[in-house]
């Protein structure tokens, strides 16, 4: 699932290459991902220009003359910016044909993402309930917002109502950097652990943005995760201590962590997949 670092770099690219371009034609090839919250047809966008592209949490927002296109890519949604002559992929759902012979295409292998056309961002499910941006929240606000939650800290980090933009992968990285056990419940966190979590959140996200920006170029559909320390690295040696990275399926998600650097005891039932 694209998270804050990937989407931030995609946003930067689109600001440079999309803003000011007019839409010449819209093709909705597979309407299953489209949610039209207006009385207009998607073809009403033809002739309009993109005036702004921004990110909010794990959403991309495209401003047009009087409407918004809002993309929530979910698990496997990807945008392609390419020449109109390039071959279409099998799971292409929507194409915006742009001036100068370029396309913006939405491709989704699992067709779980959503594209909303709306006059009001608050109508988009999940948009208004988001907390502050993970890279903008102050330490004092972070600490105060933590008090509202009593569950496991990884579940808190991926809760978009707590802070916006962090998903499964970067939660693992933040917790590893902070040396905090992912299944530790929030009331059990020490003041030092909270401080380390906050600092790790900023460092991991900023460093990841820099790495992705250097490697992505115009291939905005690609996902770079090989540079991560623990996420997706089950059974690989911990880069800090050499202990095999654990991979556990619990609470409906895969979690990678180092049992030596992040010691703790899981409470409740789960199914271990290794480590």
Residue 249 falls in the annotated catalytic set: no
DSSP assignment letter at 87: P
- Other beta carbons less than 10 A from residue 259's beta carbon: 16
Q: Taking the chain, what is the end-to-end CA distance rounded to the nearest angstrom?
A: 24
Catalytic residue, chosen from 21, 22, 253, 259, is: 253
Per-residue tokens: 129 = 């309930």
Catalytic residue, chosen from 11, 55, 58, 78, is: 58
Catalytic residue, chosen from 2, 5, 73, 182, is: 2
Residue 2 falls in the annotated catalytic set: yes
Choose among 72, 71, 89: nearest CA to 80. Answer: 89
Q: How many alpha carbons lie under 13 Å from residue 130 in its C-beta half-sphere?
A: 19
Residue 125 falls in the annotated catalytic set: no
What does the angle CA 52 – CA 54 – CA 58 come to, to the nearest 5 degrees?
150
Can you list the positions of beta strands (E) in the chain? Answer: 23-28, 34-36, 52-56, 59-63, 68-72, 77-83, 92-98, 102-108, 114-118, 246-250, 253-257, 271-272
Residue 263 falls in the annotated catalytic set: no
Bridge partners, 78 (sequence order): 107
**Catalytic positions, written as ranges:** 2-3, 58, 253
């Amino acid at each position: 699932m694209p998270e804050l670092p990937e989407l931030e770099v995609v946003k930067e690219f689109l600001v440079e290459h999309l803003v000011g371009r007019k839409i010449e034609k819209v093709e909705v090839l597979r309407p299953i991902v489209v949610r039209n919250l207006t009385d207009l047809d998607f073809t009403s966008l033809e002739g309009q220009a993109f005036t702004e592209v921004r990110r909010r949490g794990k959403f991309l927002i495209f401003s047009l003359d009087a409407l918004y296109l809002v993309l929530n890519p979910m698990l496997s949604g990807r945008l392609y910016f390419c020449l109109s002559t390039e071959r279409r992929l099998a799971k292409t759902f929507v194409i915006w044909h742009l001036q100068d012979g370029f396309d913006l295409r939405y491709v989704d292998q699992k067709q779980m993402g959503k594209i909303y056309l709306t006059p009001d961002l608050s109508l988009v499910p999940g948009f208004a309930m988001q907390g502050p941006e993970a890279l903008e929240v102050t330490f004092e606000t972070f600490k105060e917002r933590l008090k509202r939650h009593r569950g496991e800290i990884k579940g808190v980090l991926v809760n978009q109502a707590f802070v916006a933009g962090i998903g499964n992968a970067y939660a693992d990285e933040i917790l590893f950097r902070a040396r905090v056990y992912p299944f530790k419940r929030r009331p059990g966190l020490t003041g030092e652990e909270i401080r380390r979590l906050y600092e790790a959140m900023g460092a991991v996200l900023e460093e990841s943005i820099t790495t992705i920006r250097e490697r992505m170029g115009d291939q905005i559909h690609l996902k770079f995760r090989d540079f991560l320390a623990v996420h997706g690295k089950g059974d690989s040696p911990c880069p800090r201590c050499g202990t095999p990275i654990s991979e556990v399926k619990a609470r409906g998600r895969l979690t990678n962590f180092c049992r030596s650097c992040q010691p703790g005891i899981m409470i409740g039932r789960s199914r271990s997949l290794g480590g």
